[in-house]
Amino acid sequence: MKVLLASSEVHPYSKTGGLADVVGALAKALAKEGLQVGLATPLYKGILEKFPGIHPSDLRIDLPLGTRRVEGEVFQLEGESGLTVYFIRQSDFFHRAGLYQETGADYPDNAERFVFFSKCVMHLARHLAWQPDLIHVHDWQVGLVPLLIKHAKERAGWGTAPKTCLTIHNLAYQGVFPRSAYELTNLPEDYFHPGGAEFYGRMNCLKAGITCADLITTVSPRYAREILTEAFGGGLDDVLRQRQRSLVGILNGVDYTEWKTTGNPFLNNSFALRNLRGKEAEKLSLQLTMGLPQASDRPLFGSICRLVDQKGSDILLGALVEMLAANMQFVLLGSGSPLLEKAFQNLARRYPDKAAARIGYDHPLSHRIEAGCDFYLMPSRFEPCGLNQMYSLRYGAIPIVRATGGLDDSIIDLTEDLEQANGIKFYEYSSRALAKAIRKALVLYRELPLLRHFRKNAMSADFSWDRTTAEYVDVYRRTLAAA
Is 167 found in the same domain as 33?
yes
Task: Judge whether 302 lies within some domain.
Answer: yes
Residue spans of beta strands (DSSP E) within 152-264: 163-168, 176-177, 198-199, 202-204, 215-218, 247-249
Element containing residue 241 per DSSP (H, E): helix 237-242
Q: Convert the pLDDT of each residue in 154-175 to its tens digit.
A: 998 898 999 999 999 999 999 9
Is 471 found in the same domain as 456?
no
Task: Judge whether 410 lies within some domain.
Answer: yes
Q: Convert the pLDDT of each residue in 203-246 to its tens digit.
A: 999 999 999 999 999 999 999 999 999 999 999 999 999 999 99
Is 170 found in the same domain as 52?
yes
Is 314 found in the same domain as 244?
no
Task: Judge whether 265 lies within some domain.
Answer: no
Is 420 found in the same domain as 475?
no
Task: Judge whether 18 lies within some domain.
Answer: yes
Looking at residues 368-377, what average pLDDT do you find? 98
Task: Judge whether 264 lies within some domain.
Answer: no
Is 411 found in the same domain as 288?
yes
Alpha helices in 109-236 (DSSP H): 110-127, 145-154, 205-212, 221-226
Is 286 found in the same domain as 162?
no
Q: Convert the pLDDT of each residue in 50-84 to its tens digit.
A: 999 999 999 999 999 999 999 999 999 998 788 99
Is 445 found in the same domain as 379?
yes
Assign 390 to helix, strand or coil.
helix
Is 323 found in the same domain as 405?
yes
pLDDT tops 80 at residue 483: no
Residues of the chain above pLDDT 90, percent: 95
Q: What local confidence, expressed as pLDDT, does residue 103 receive?
A: 83
Close Cβ partners of 408 (under 8 Å, ≥ 6 residues apart): 222, 401, 425
- The Cα 392–Cα 147 span in angstroms is 38
Task: Judge whether 283 lies within some domain.
Answer: yes
Q: Convert the pLDDT of each residue in 94-123 to its tens digit.
A: 999 999 998 879 999 999 999 999 999 999
Q: What local confidence, expressed as pLDDT, does residue 297 receive?
A: 95
Beta-bridge partner residues of 56: 75
How many structural domains is the chain composed of?
2
Cβ(5)–Cβ(83) below 8 Å = no
- The Cα 59–Cα 89 span in angstroms is 11
269 phi/psi in degrees, rounded to 5: -135, 135
Is 337 found in the same domain as 242?
no
Is 335 found in the same domain as 444?
yes
Pick from 46, 35, 33, 44: which is nearest to 7 by CA?
A: 44
Task: Judge whether 125 lies within some domain.
Answer: yes
CATH number where 120 lies: 3.40.50.2000
- The Cα 302–Cα 316 span in angstroms is 11
Is 458 found in the same domain as 472?
no
Amino acid code (one letter) for 93: F
Task: Judge whether 98 lies within some domain.
Answer: yes
Q: Convert the pLDDT of each residue in 245-278 to its tens digit.
A: 999 999 999 999 999 999 999 999 999 999 999 9
- Domain of residue 325: give its range: 277-462
Q: What local confidence, expressed as pLDDT, does residue 104 receive?
A: 78
